[in-house]
Structure 1
Amino acid sequence: MKPIIAVTMGDPSSIGAELSVKAMARKDIYENCKPLIVGDFSVMEEAKALLGMDDIRLNPIQDVKDAVFTHGTIDVYDMKLIKGSDIQFGEIKALYGDAAFQYVVKAIELAKTGEVDATVTNAISKESINLAGHHFAGHTEIYAHYTETKDYAMMLVHNNLRVVHVSTHVSLREACDRVKKERVLKCIELANEACRMIGIEEPTVAVAGLNPHAGENGMFGHEEIEEIIPAIEEAKSKNIKVEGPVPPDTVFPKALGGWYDVVVVMYHDQGHIPLKTVGFVYDKDLNKWKAVEGVNITLGLPIIRVSVDHGTAFDQAGKGTASEISLVNSIQYAIEFSRNKK
């Protein structure tokens, strides 16, 4: 059976609707899953017209049972929150933030009730959703709240580079304080499980140090000795193949070279910078992005959530030039996770 994948449309003034139309226009998506967009039919209509895809039909629904799941027709779970003709691209507004938030909550609801097998999210504006009164740092925290999940982690993926974060959307000062044995151990376990779910039978997990040179035996900090190494030793006692702490400035070249299947990192930028360095490619001569690729997977949830690893790209919204590859890759990961979870 093909899994049903709910794809949120993202911020209405972003590239989300354009990417959704482009991705749903691909036949290979329908060969492997049953996708539907959770968003606004009116906004999707405007995006379809913008892209000149007259051969694509939109099917507005209010119940998953009414979806046709046929290539050439995009099923849209119509939330009826925004008029497409009123959209001002690239604008930060509470109206747009609330709509984007409601799309996410609906997708979570559909997954929790079993009406869909997995969810994929387009980008939201954190500023807009907070203006709308929804005080969350991002998708990950929304999913954790609405699924009542305490132990979760973000995994970013680009090809064979995978990173799992001990902390994400907190200050660097707070991130250092969050490096605790129990949290590091949980992230090692989640990273190991995630790799197995995508078909890596015996994953090798690397754990990055927090400090330069992984602390240099306490010369540059004690977190490695007091928190990270004890977590690694306990993970080993659970038969997890794990190495570290590896100095942060060498762990990623090793991972790219195939030494490790996944890297547990201590904070947001420690993982995001290397992944986006390889996944985001800008062509100076052409004055445009050649690639904006990467996938974000929330681990530890009772439902499956995969996301594009790029933002709203307000500067590209309404131009029809943004690439759908990250969204397509996200859907493919959602398919794989949903099949293995079953």
Structure 2
Amino acid sequence: MKYVTLFEGDGIGPEITDSVIQIFNHLNIPITFEKYDIGQTLYEKEGILISQESIDSIKKNKVALKAPISTPIGKGFRSMNVHLRMMFDLYANIRPAKSYKQIKSRYSDIDLVVFRENTEDLYIGEEKKINDDEFIAIKKITRKASRRIIKLAFEYAIKNNRKKVTCVHKANILKLTDGLFLEEFNKIKADYPSIIANDLIVDNTCMQLVLKPENFDVLVMPNLYGDIISDLTSGLIGGLGLLPSVNMNDEYAIFEAVHGSALDIANKNIANPTAFILSACMMLEHLGFEKEATTIKEAIECTFNDLDNCTADLGGKASTLQYTQNIINNMAKKSIM
């Protein structure tokens, strides 16, 4: 039995969490979830954004599944998500982007993975006031953080039969900070001669992703570029509703969908749970349940074959509950076959 810390989150979080639990229950996956409130939901109950009990649960289980959360404006942390990443030193944010032939988008052959350094860059949150008309933000890049995210990207490429790793940077302008990141990339790539390694300026990367996304495989980059480019890749495949992710280091892993809590559609039974289900599949693979993860992903693709059985944002007519049941039905069909 595996134990996983579970945050149902805010907004649509409880609805899409229920989808995951239904699917896991159908497959009888030996995972016990330890549920905790977090973010706005917890703040409204207890006046805090995260409990010590839930932190202890993550430390014990090493793995968490987190639905989208909201950080109340002006309360506590600037971002609960950023706080969790910093608290557990989750230096790697990994976001796969895969197109599905059944889902309407501009491209049909995308299968890439963004590796985003998760602990520094402008996201350290150090801003200073010079005077009433002038402010600065500190961009921090370290050799240690650069090396570990770049090495992880190459290791992932080897393990998953990927062919190429691209370093994204702005070292032509930011010669010290991004220059350091690129320097470490050029050192580390020599240890992986079987992997094609190249680098691109971030603005050129955005253009090339739109023109020829099929040319990309694994991309690794500092924090800010990773935040922007991973959202760009979601647009290439049909939206944030299809984009899973994990924040991790060598000890801990927190899996989550990339999209937000969507408070405006909460409790309407119309949310698309796909990204969160796919994040749960990444978690299953991390825990050694590769077969179960494959079964779920194949059932999702089968469900895509009739878009009427999908949620409205995917072009369908199904509610969240109906879409979840359609995935379960397709899993049942595959088990019979």
> Structure 1 residues 277 and 246, CA, compared in 2 at 3 Å: closer, same or farther?
closer
Whole-angstrom CA distance in 2 between matches of 1:188 and 1:140:
20
SS state of the match for residue 296, structure 1?
strand
Whole-angstrom CA distance in 1 between matches of 2:184 and 2:80:
27
Matches for 1:93-242 after TM superposition, within 5 Å: 93-95=43-45, 98=48, 101=51, 104-105=54-55, 107-112=57-62, 118-127=63-72, 131=75, 133=76, 135=77, 137-139=79-81, 141-142=83-84, 144-145=86-87, 147=88, 149=89, 152-159=91-98, 160-166=111-117, 167=120, 169-170=123-124, 177-196=139-158, 199-201=159-161, 203-210=163-170, 214-215=171-172, 220-223=173-176, 226-239=179-192, 241=195
Check if 1:10 corresponds to 2:6: no
Contact 1:192 1:203 in 2 (8 A): no
TM-score by length of 1: 0.62
> Which is further off, 289-298 or 317-326?
289-298
Gaps in structure 2 of 5+ consecutive residues: 99-110, 128-135, 291-337
Contact 1:5 1:120 in 2 (8 A): yes
> Which is further off, 16-25 or 236-245?
236-245
1:310 CA displacement: 1.2
Whole-angstrom CA distance in 1 between matches of 2:47 and 2:272:
23
SS state of the match for residue 288, structure 2?
helix
CA RMSD across the alignment: 3.9
Check if 1:304 corresponds to 2:253: yes
Matches for 1:319-334 after TM superposition, within 5 Å: 319-334=268-283
Contact 2:92 2:149 in 1 (8 A): yes
1:226 CA displacement: 4.0
> Which is further off, 234-243 or 201-210?
234-243
Whole-angstrom CA distance in 2 between matches of 1:290 and 1:102:
34
Check if 1:20 corresponds to 2:27: no
Matches for 1:285-300 after TM superposition, within 5 Å: 292-300=241-249
Whole-angstrom CA distance in 2 between matches of 1:104 and 1:242:
42
> Structure 1 residues 244 and 17, CA, compared in 2 at 3 Å: closer, same or farther?
same
Greater per-residue helix proportion: 2
> Structure 1 residues 295 and 107, CA, compared in 2 at 3 Å: closer, same or farther?
farther
Whole-angstrom CA distance in 2 between matches of 1:267 and 1:328:
25
Gaps in structure 1 of 5+ consecutive residues: 40-78, 83-89, 113-117, 283-288
TM-score by length of 2: 0.63
1:121 CA displacement: 0.8
1:333 CA displacement: 0.4
Whole-angstrom CA distance in 2 between matches of 1:119 and 1:295:
14
Aligned residues between the structures? 263
Letter in 1 for 2:287: S
> Structure 1 residues 8 and 190, CA, compared in 2 at 3 Å: closer, same or farther?
same
1:224 CA displacement: 7.3
> Structure 1 residues 6 and 35, CA, compared in 2 at 3 Å: closer, same or farther?
farther
Whole-angstrom CA distance in 2 between matches of 1:243 and 1:109:
36
1:276-309 alpha-carbon deviations (Å, 9 max, x no partner): 2442599xxxxxx976221221232403321111
* 1:62 aligned residue: none
* 1:70 aligned residue: none
* 1:285 aligned residue: none
Contact 1:5 1:119 in 2 (8 A): yes
Identity of aligned pairs, percent?
16
Contact 2:154 2:165 in 1 (8 A): yes
